[in-house]
Structure 1
Amino acid sequence: MTGASPSEQVALYGPDGRPTGEAADRARVRRDNLRHAATHVVVRNSDGLVYVHRRTATKDLYPGLYDFTAGGVLQAGEDPLLSATREVEEELGVSGARLVPLFEADYADDRARFHAYCFVCLWDGPIRWQPAEVAWGQWVTPARLLEMLDELEFMPDAVANMRPWLESLRQR
């Protein structure tokens, strides 16, 4: 989220992938690695390309890594689709695109634990980066993106949750 405040209230999620009804401020969620929810949105164009970008060095989680999803943390009481729509607009300037739900997944490492709501959208308009979040970006084929995943350091959550889906694109 653009300019995310450390005091922003984040919905906490249980191991069943559902909200617990509790919330904590973003700073505590990060510090204590509390289980929450987040979104992944893959942006594709009508040529079948996927938008890849590099996170800025100032991001609070995985700064400077490459990513092929836009997304972020669900705020307390926020609907996953609305969160995903907000995040893809804030990060990449994708506004008015229809987000299609793909699946839900879970991710955990020593820095983040969350239930993911995964979406894809079709976008042929301009990409307008949020300068505080995106340092670089370009359209690539799914095959090239799969090569890039082995060559560059990408967001581990996006790779873990979305790689099987991305590999399925190569089969089509």
Structure 2
Amino acid sequence: MNAAELVAVYDANGEVVGSATRARMRAEGLWHACGAVLVRSADGERVYVHRRTDTKDVYPGMHDCWAGGVVAAGETPRECAERELAEELGVSGVALTPLFVLPIDLPPVRVHMSAYETRWDGPIVTQAAEIASGEWMTVADLRARLADPAWPFVPDGRLAALEWFRGLWRARRRPWGPAG
């Protein structure tokens, strides 16, 4: 997406209220939305982590575990997630499992992140204009790296990964104590 393309503009409550150019959205810190996909190996033990190119308009050169981007005008977050997954990592035709919608207010970035997950063991073909490098990392290694505030990881992606970790914990927790 280039600076002149139209993106969907949202309000703080997550409702679409119009559109603006990407450049205006960035310059004015307008609320917008993104579709983001966490790519996990089929066994769920590894996550694909990449480093953004130094030419990205926001958070250049930083690491991220979410393939995704800004929702275009007239596009849904899920459509955006599918499009970005195909563009950035060359992964298409996969099932996306909804995880959560997370409002992130880190001025000038104000975004409603619709997060999804997919399982994939096929080839990863990165988009050179957006991704400088990438690798598979165990979930435990990702958690450990994210615990280091000095690791250059995109701030909104860090918040989303921490939300995902909380969801993993909740899914494993037994509401009535240990099984007997």
TM-score, scaled to structure 1: 0.92
- Which stretches in structure 2 are left out of the alignment for 5+ residues? 173-180
Pairwise mapping of residues 123-134 of structure 1 onto structure 2 (< 5 A)?
A: 123-134=120-131
* Alignment correspondent of 1:46: 42
* Alignment correspondent of 1:89: 86
What is the CA deviation profile of residues 116-148 of structure 1, one whole-angstrom value per residue up to 9, with x for unaligned ones? 111000111100000011111111111100111
Please state whether the residue corresponding to 2:13 is helix, strand or coil. Answer: coil
Amino acid in the other structure paired with 2:29: N
After superposing the two structures, state which structure 1 stretch, 142-151 or 68-77, moved more: 142-151
Please state whether the residue corresponding to 1:161 is helix, strand or coil. Answer: helix
- Which stretches in structure 1 are left out of the alignment for 5+ residues? none
Q: How many residues align?
A: 168
**What's the offset of the Cα at 1:167?**
4.8
The answer on 1:161 being equivalent to 2:160 is yes
Please state whether the residue corresponding to 2:101 is helix, strand or coil. Answer: strand
Query: Could you tell me how far apart the structure 1 residues matched to 2:9 and 2:167 are?
Result: 31
* Alignment correspondent of 1:70: 67
The answer on 1:101 being equivalent to 2:98 is yes
* Alignment correspondent of 2:136: 139
* Alignment correspondent of 2:109: 112
**What's the offset of the Cα at 1:168?**
4.5
What is the CA deviation profile of residues 12-33 of structure 1, one whole-angstrom value per residue up to 9, with x for unaligned ones? 101211111x110000001111
Percent of aligned pairs with the same amino acid: 46
Query: Could you tell me how far apart the structure 2 residues matched to 1:72 and 1:50 are?
Result: 18
Query: Could you tell me how far apart the structure 2 residues matched to 1:126 and 1:56 are?
Result: 20
Amino acid in the other structure paired with 1:61: V
Please state whether the residue corresponding to 1:157 is helix, strand or coil. Answer: helix
The Cα RMSD (Å) is 1.4
Amino acid in the other structure paired with 1:153: P
Query: Could you tell me how far apart the structure 2 residues matched to 1:153 and 1:57 are?
Result: 12
Query: Could you tell me how far apart the structure 1 residues matched to 2:40 and 2:139 are?
Result: 10
Runs of 4+ displaced beyond 3 Å:
167-172
Q: For 2:19, which of 20, 23, 37 is the aligned residue?
A: 23
Query: Could you tell me how far apart the structure 2 residues matched to 1:39 and 1:162 are?
Result: 14
Amino acid in the other structure paired with 1:120: E
TM-score, scaled to structure 2: 0.88
Query: Could you tell me how far apart the structure 1 residues matched to 2:108 and 2:134 are?
Result: 25
